[in-house]
Structure 1
Amino acid sequence: MRLDPPPSSRDGLQMQDFRKQCKQAERDQESKKLAALIERVKRQLAQRQGTQGPRVA
């Protein structure tokens, strides 16, 4: 039976850093998705306005 030493506070900090990095990566990915969606909606709106002609106010 192998006895591993108990995790040190350094190990705990490394795990916290890893979790923070993962969460940041998830936020970055979601931001990229949101930016792509916004651009797609802008293009669709521009296409609709272009096909409907100028609007008279």
Structure 2
Amino acid sequence: MSMFDSLLHGLDDQEQDRTRELIADSVATDRADALAGKAPDRLVDSGSRHRRSRAETQRR
């Protein structure tokens, strides 16, 4: 199951259509902005944060 399918799972047909439209609009806007050289409006979490280990947490 793709990420988009998982977003649509459990929604009725009308909500699925609306969600597809919102995703398509968002992608189109992001593409247009990228072509225009604009930075994205949204920040993406790159997962670069340091996670504490259990041992580190227990020492405190």
- What is the TM-score when the length of structure 2 is the normalising length? 0.44
Relative to its length, the structure with more helix (as a share) is: 1
Q: Which of structures 1 and 2 has the larger relative contact order (alpha carbons within 8 angstroms, sep 6+)?
A: 2
Q: Which has the larger radius of gyration?
A: 1
- What is the TM-score when the length of structure 1 is the normalising length? 0.46
